[in-house]
């Protein structure tokens, strides 16, 4: 495209845009992306030098601040006309954001007037959507998403959750669903899963870095690595109701049931009524330290301790549920042997939003941990599988 | 003779052609044998039947290995609890009842499977839990059971010596660190003999947790939790009563608070006097100030050890802060913008011994130029 043609197109676009601006000048919000009176500061680039590099001309003698290596810094050259183009594009995009923010203001007014919960939820969802759209192309937000660690992003803002969700859907979600399906967690425990939250699991009591990090779904772990209750992180991407409570359970669908020559499900861990939100989304040892009277724990943790030759692997299936109301479960009413997870979910009105799985098999640390938990010695099975049919 | 008749027909009128038809009708057909006699070499292509078809029928009980179907190609596909052989033979892998069925996911195929239970139809509905057979038989003889439990795979057997060595190393590290901690705690911090055992173990556990990726603060919380968890397990086992547990808990909490107000652990494994957050931040500022003013240059080996000592001062900087300070003040290759790291105007004929000549591209003049770099900057 020739230079002149391009410039005429740009001017016509700008004209259009100015006309738009004048027509909507009655609504108040201007320069939304630079105004931090009504926007959180987490939408800013933290480092002022880097921010300067993003918005202003880069000094050729110094190079951009975001590059650390001195020689690489000096060999950086901005593309031709990038500063002018960036400025024009920024103006257009910011104008669109201004319109979105004006809408948000109107919706917020509606929200304060609404009294039915249903309409409140729908308005809140609409506001989240508008906020996301308003900040979707903000260069500062994009910089933070691209270069900051996911843990340091502000999960209370819907735009960061939007980008985190995108990232999750691209890799972690696919891994999780693949493992849940291929290892038969679905449908051996629950029929299926409509995933809503990113569920991560780790065992922080481990003093070996091999076992102390977040575990990949389906990993095979030794018994000593799962000796104590796991830390569970539940990252919700939708805006969470402030009173939302969660239930977390770990079940093993591979406990040998010799009376039927088949398998039964055992409950290994149960937590209820855990208040979580978008920002405070972790159940760790601090949570459990505060839970002295077992307010949250309705089934205290017992690790899977597979017996010798009892099948290839046993699966520890961790399920996370949103509760519809506070629960009063207790270990006296729930038997962990022959646990019917489907009936449990239906009777307590639970909504599954995420799951995780790790696998275990007999290893040399099993007897020691059985002793620690005061459990009897494990059975031993013949290593060749027999041909007896299921007992009906 | 036929030819003569044909010749007549060509030039003939109506009566003559009629005579031909009658003549034709009177011709008797002769069927000659086209099939060669059985002694011929081309008639040997037939073979005996291959006895294909189902070998077990709907509802029949089969054992693992029983052949259910012999076929050419997959007339019938293998379904649940069966497998298919190299010649498409379908055989059972679980004991149960044969079922021929259709699968809604593959509507054009016929399937055969083995249902583990007599009254269960196949396919099992998509969202229902699978029916699975356990099949392993418990060893009742305790001696035999122990033998089987101790049996190692070849891989495990071959790794034994390495595992033992690792365990020994770990044990030695633990003993050494704990004795070192005990010494320091008793001499420098005057911790009582009663607490020193518990304190040194606690600090050792915190150290191993921090080596596994915890920050010191989270490692402390984790260690406290671990201690409480072991108490909880002893209550479960009946070794402790509930009251004993709660007194032990409160004792531990006071002990922990007291020891933490005196001593702290550094990430590199040394114990130091507890510093308040204000003290830490002033010390941080002090050290960074000193580094910026005095040590942002090409350093001699002596200065390098001093910088490293400053950066690794116990309890001042976190691991990541230490890393970034090391990158800035102790780089393996000093950047060009550090004062004294570039010597302009060197004589290419006569380069000093402690200087390395480099041709670099000068961004300002956009030309290559010769510069000298002290050898200390490139170490």
Pairing mode of beta strands B96-103, B106-115: antiparallel
Contact A390 B117 (CB under 8 A): yes
User: Which residues does chain B have within 8 Å of residue A62's beta carbon, measured at their own beta carbons?
Assistant: none
Residue among A298, A318, A311, A227 nearest A264 (CA): A311
List, for residues B334-364, the tens digit of each pLDDT value.
888 888 888 888 888 888 888 888 888 887 7
pLDDT score of A133: 95
| Helix B193-211 vs helix B154-188: crossing angle, to nearest 10 | 130
Residue B371 tokens, joined: 């510069």
Contact A262 B131 (CB under 8 A): yes
Q: What is the CATH number of domain A7-153?
A: 1.20.58.1180
Compute the distance between CA of residue A310 and CA of residue A294 in angstroms, rounded to an integer.
33
Q: Which residues of B327-352 are buried (b: 16+ CB within 10 A; e: fewer)?
A: ebbbeeebeeebeebbbeebeeeeee
Tell me if A7-153 shares its fold with A171-372: no
- CB contact set of A384 (below 8 Å; sequence gap of 6+): none
Residue whose pair of structure tokens reads 């004048």 in the numeric block: A22
Compute the distance between CA of residue A267 and CA of residue A285 in angstroms, rounded to an integer.
20
pLDDT score of B27: 73
pLDDT score of B348: 81
Contact B209 A383 (CB under 8 A): no
Residue whose pair of structure tokens reads 């013949």 in the numeric block: A382
User: Which residues does chain B have within 8 Å of residue A189's beta carbon, measured at their own beta carbons?
Assistant: 129
Q: Does A194 touch chain B (CB under 8 A)?
A: no
Above 70 in pLDDT, residue B4?
no
List, for residues B61-74, the tens digit of each pLDDT value.
999 999 999 999 99
Contact B233 A374 (CB under 8 A): yes
Above 80 in pLDDT, residue B145?
yes
Report the 3 state secondary structure along B299-351. Answer: CCHHHHHHHHHHHCCCCCCCHHHHHHHHHHHCCCCCCCCCCCCCECCCCCCCC
Q: Does A386 touch chain B (CB under 8 A)?
A: yes
Least CA distance to B120: which residue of chain A?
A: A392
Helix, strand, coil distribution of chain A in percent, nearest 5 = 40, 20, 40
Instruction: Give the predicted TM-score (pTM) of the model.
Output: 0.87
- CATH number for B53-115 (one of 2.40.50.100, 2.40.128.280, 3.40.50.2020, 3.40.50.1100): it is 2.40.50.100
Contact A388 B135 (CB under 8 A): yes
Q: Give, for A198, the enclosing helix (H) or strand (E).
A: strand A197-202
How far CA A153 is from CA of A32, B57, B307, in Å, comes to: 20, 63, 34
Above 70 in pLDDT, residue B19?
no
Q: Does A47 touch chain B (CB under 8 A)?
A: no
Q: Where are the domains of chain A?
A: 7-153, 171-372
Question: Is residue B95 classed as helix, strand or coil in its secondary structure?
Answer: coil
Mutation target for A interface from B149, B216, B365: give the one with most A CBs within 10 A.
B149
Contact A205 B363 (CB under 8 A): no
Residue among A181, A304, A328, A293 nearest A253 (CA): A304
Chain B neighbours among A 235-274 (CB < 8 Å)?
Answer: 253, 256-258, 261-263
- Class of A171-372 per CATH? alpha beta
Q: Where are the domains of chain B?
A: 53-115, 164-273, 277-329
**pLDDT per position in chain A (392 positions), as tens?**
445 555 556 566 555 555 554 444 445 678 889 989 889 999 999 999 999 999 999 887 788 888 887 778 878 888 999 999 999 999 999 999 999 999 999 999 988 888 888 888 889 999 999 999 999 999 999 999 999 999 999 999 999 999 999 999 999 999 999 999 999 999 999 999 999 999 999 999 999 989 999 999 999 999 999 999 999 999 999 988 888 999 999 999 999 999 999 999 999 999 999 999 999 999 999 999 888 778 899 999 999 999 999 999 999 999 999 999 999 999 888 999 999 999 999 999 999 999 999 999 999 999 999 999 999 999 999 999 999 999 98
């Amino acid at each position: 495209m020739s230079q002149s043609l391009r410039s005429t197109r740009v001017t016509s676009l700008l004209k259009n845009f100015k006309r738009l601006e004048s027509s909507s000048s009655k609504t108040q919000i201007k320069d939304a992306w630079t105004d931090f009176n009504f926007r959180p500061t987490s939408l800013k680039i933290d480092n002022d030098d880097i921010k300067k590099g993003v918005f202003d001309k880069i000094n050729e003698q110094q190079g951009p601040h975001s590059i650390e290596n001195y020689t690489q810094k000096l060999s950086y050259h901005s593309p031709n006309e990038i500063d002018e183009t960036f400025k024009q594009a920024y103006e257009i995009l910011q104008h669109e954001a201004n319109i979105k923010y004006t809408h948000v203001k109107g919706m917020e007014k509606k929200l304060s007037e609404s009294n039915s919960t249903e309409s409140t939820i729908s308005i809140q969802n609409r506001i989240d959507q508008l906020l996301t759209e308003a900040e979707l192309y903000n260069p500062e937000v994009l910089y933070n998403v691209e270069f900051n660690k996911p843990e340091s992003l502000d999960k209370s803002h819907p735009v960061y959750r939007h980008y985190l969700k995108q990232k999750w859907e691209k890799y972690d979600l696919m891994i999780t669903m693949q493992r849940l399906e291929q290892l038969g967690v679905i449908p051996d425990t629950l029929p299926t899963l409509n995933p809503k939250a990113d569920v991560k699991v780790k065992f922080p009591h481990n003093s070996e870095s091999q076992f102390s990090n977040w575990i990949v779904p389906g990993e095979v772990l030794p018994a000593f690595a799962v000796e104590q209750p796991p830390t569970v992180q539940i990252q919700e991407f939708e805006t969470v109701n402030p009173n939302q409570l969660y239930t977390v359970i770990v079940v093993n669908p591979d406990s040998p049931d010799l009376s039927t020559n088949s398998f039964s499900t055992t409950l290994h861990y149960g937590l209820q009524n855990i208040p979580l939100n978008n920002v405070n989304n972790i159940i760790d040892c601090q949570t459990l330290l505060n839970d002295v009277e077992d307010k949250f724990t309705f089934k205290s943790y017992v690790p899977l301790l597979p017996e010798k030759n009892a099948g290839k692997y046993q699966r520890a299936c961790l399920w996370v549920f949103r509760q519809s109301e506070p629960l009063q479960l207790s270990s006296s009413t729930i038997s962990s042997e022959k646990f019917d997870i489907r009936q449990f979910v239906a009777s307590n009105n639970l909504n599954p939003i995420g799951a995780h799985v790790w696998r275990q098999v007999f290893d040399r640390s099993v007897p020691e941990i059985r002793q620690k938990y005061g459990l009897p010695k494990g059975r031993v099975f013949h290593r060749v599988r027999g041909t007896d049919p299921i007992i009906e | 003779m036929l030819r003569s008749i044909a010749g007549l027909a060509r030039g003939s009128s109506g009566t003559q052609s009629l005579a031909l038809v009658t003549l034709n009708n009177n011709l008797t057909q002769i069927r000659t044998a086209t099939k060669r006699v059985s002694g011929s070499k081309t008639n040997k292509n037939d073979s005996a039947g291959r006895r294909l078809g189902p070998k077990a029928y709907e509802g029949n009980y089969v054992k693992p290995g029983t052949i259910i179907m012999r076929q050419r190609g997959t007339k019938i596909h293998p379904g649940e609890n069966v497998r298919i052989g190299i010649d498409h033979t379908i055989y059972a892998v679980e004991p149960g009842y044969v079922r021929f069925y259709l699968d809604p996911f593959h509507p054009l195929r016929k399937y055969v499977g083995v249902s583990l239970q007599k009254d269960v139809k196949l396919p099992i509905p998509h969202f229902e839990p699978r029916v699975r057979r356990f099949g392993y038989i418990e060893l009742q003889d305790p001696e035999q059971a122990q033998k089987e439990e101790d049996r190692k795979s070849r891989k495990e057997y071959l790794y034994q010596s390495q595992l033992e060595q690792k365990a020994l190393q770990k044990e030695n590290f633990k003993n050494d660190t704990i004795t070192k901690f005990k010494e320091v705690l008793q001499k420098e911090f005057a911790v009582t003999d009663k607490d020193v055992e518990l304190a040194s173990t606690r600090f050792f556990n915190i150290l191993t947790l921090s080596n596994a990726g915890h920050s010191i603060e989270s490692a402390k919380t984790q260690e406290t939790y671990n201690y409480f968890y072991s108490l909880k397990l002893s209550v479960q086992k009946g070794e402790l009563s509930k009251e004993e547990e709660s007194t032990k808990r409160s004792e531990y909490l006071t002990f922990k608070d007291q020891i933490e107000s005196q001593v702290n652990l550094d990430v590199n494994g040394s114990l130091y006097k507890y510093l308040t957050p204000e003290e830490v931040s002033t010390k941080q500022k002090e050290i960074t100030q000193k580094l910026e003013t005095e040590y942002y240059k090409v350093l001699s080996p002596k200065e390098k050890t001093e910088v490293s000592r400053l950066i690794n001062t116990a309890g001042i900087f976190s691991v990541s802060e230490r890393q970034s300070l090391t990158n800035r003040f102790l780089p393996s290759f000093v950047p060009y913008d550090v004062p004294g790291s570039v010597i302009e105007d060197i004589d290419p004929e006569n380069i000093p011994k402690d200087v390395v000549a480099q041709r670099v591209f000068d961004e300002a003049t956009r030309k290559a130029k010769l510069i000298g770099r002290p050898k200390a900057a490139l170490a």
